[in-house]
Chains A and B, each alone.
Chain A
Amino acid sequence: MAKNRRFNPDRDVNPWKGAYRPYDLAKEVIICFVVVAVMVIGLAVIFGSPDDKAVTIQRWSNADQVDFATTAITELDGTSGTATYGPPYNSTPDASQKVGPVSLESIAGVHIPVNPAQDFVLGPLSTVPNAPVLNAALSAYNAASSAQQQKWDAAYEEAVTKATVNNGKIVVPAGDYGPVAVMISSLTSMAQSGALDTSMINQDHFYGTDYTKSLLFVADGTYFANLGDAHHLSGGQWGMMNETGSFPGQAWLWLYTMWYQVWPFTSSWEPNADALIWALMMVLTLILLLVPFIPGLRSIPRWSRIYRLVWRNHYKERRI
Chain B
Amino acid sequence: MNDAREPESVTPAIHEEDSSQWTARIRNSLVRALPPERLIPDRQPSYMASWIYIFGALTIAALTIVILTGVVLSLEGPMWWHLSSVGLFVNSLHLWSVELFFFFMVIHLWGKFFMAAWRGNRQLTWMTGVITFAVSIGAAFTGYVSQTNFDSQWIATQAKDGINSTGIGAFFNVMNFGQMLMWHIVLLPAGVVLITGLHILMVRRRGIVPPIELDENGRVVREAASDTSVSTNEEVAV
Chain A's nearest CB lies how many Å from the CB of B62?
5
Given A41-B93, A44-B96, are A4 and B151 neighbors across the interface (CB < 8 Å)?
A: no
Chain B 78-117 per-residue mask, 1 if CB under 8 angstroms from chain A, else 0: 0001100000110111111101101010100001011110
Given A23-B43, A43-B96, A288-B130, are A33 and B170 neighbors across the interface (CB < 8 Å)?
A: no
Which of A32, A97, A110 has a CB less than 8 Å from the CB of B58?
Answer: A32
Residues of A contacting B209 in the complex (Cβ-Cβ under 8 angstroms): 13
Query: Quick check: B116 and A302 within 8 Å, CB to CB?
Result: yes
Query: Would you list which residues of chain A between 216 and 232 have a CB under 8 Å from chain B?
Result: 216, 218-219, 224, 227-228, 231
Query: Quick check: B152 and A54 within 8 Å, CB to CB?
Result: yes
Chain A's nearest CB lies how many Å from the CB of B197?
14
Query: Would you list which residues of chain B between 127 and 177 have a CB under 8 Å from chain A?
Result: 127, 130-131, 134, 137, 140-141, 144, 147-159, 161-171, 173, 175-177
Residues of A contacting B82 in the complex (Cβ-Cβ under 8 angstroms): 51
In the complex, whether A283 has a CB less than 8 A from a CB of chain B is no
Chain A 229-254 per-residue mask, 1 if CB under 8 angstroms from chain B, else 0: 00101010001100110011111110
Residues of B contacting A310 in the complex (Cβ-Cβ under 8 angstroms): 50, 52, 111, 114-115, 211
Given A13-B210, A298-B116, A320-B221, are A22 and B233 neighbors across the interface (CB < 8 Å)?
A: no
With CB as the reference atom, state the residue of chain A lying closest to B157: A219
Residues of B contacting A239 in the complex (Cβ-Cβ under 8 angstroms): 158
Choose among A233, A311, A317 the residue with the greatest number of B CB atoms under 10 Å from its CB.
A311
Query: How far is A23 from B46 in the complex, measured between Cα atoms in Å?
Result: 10
With CB as the reference atom, state the residue of chain A lying closest to B221: A320
Chain B's nearest CB lies how many Å from the CB of A311?
4
Which of A5, A32, A40, A314 has a CB less than 8 Å from the CB of B60?
Answer: A32
With CB as the reference atom, state the residue of chain A lying closest to B223: A14
Total chain B interface residues with beta-carbon distance under 8 A: 113
Interface segment among B3-11, B19-27, B224-232: the answer is B224-232
Which of A24, A40, A293 has a CB less than 8 Å from the CB of B96?
Answer: A40
Query: Quick check: A274 and B161 within 8 Å, CB to CB?
Result: yes
Query: Quick check: B45 and A104 within 8 Å, CB to CB?
Result: no
In the complex, whether A175 has a CB less than 8 A from a CB of chain B is no
Choose among B114, B120, B223 the residue with the greatest number of A CB atoms under 10 Å from its CB.
B114
Chain A's nearest CB lies how many Å from the CB of B160?
8
Which of B60, B153, B156 has a CB less than 8 Å from the CB of A55?
Answer: B153
Residues of B contacting A6 in the complex (Cβ-Cβ under 8 angstroms): 228
In the complex, whether A77 has a CB less than 8 A from a CB of chain B is no
Given A43-B96, A310-B50, are A252 and B102 neighbors across the interface (CB < 8 Å)?
A: yes
Given A12-B120, A40-B65, A278-B162, are A109 and B230 neighbors across the interface (CB < 8 Å)?
A: no
Query: Quick check: A7 and B177 within 8 Å, CB to CB?
Result: no
Interface segment among B28-36, B185-193, B212-220: the answer is B212-220
In the complex, whether B74 has a CB less than 8 A from a CB of chain A is no
Chain B's nearest CB lies how many Å from the CB of A4?
6
Query: Quick check: B158 and A235 within 8 Å, CB to CB?
Result: yes
Chain A 246-288 per-residue mask, 1 if CB under 8 angstroms from chain B, else 0: 0111111100100000000000000010110110000001001
Nearest 9 interchain pairs by C-beta: A209-B178, A108-B167, A104-B167, A292-B118, A111-B170, A13-B120, A44-B92, A274-B165, A88-B170
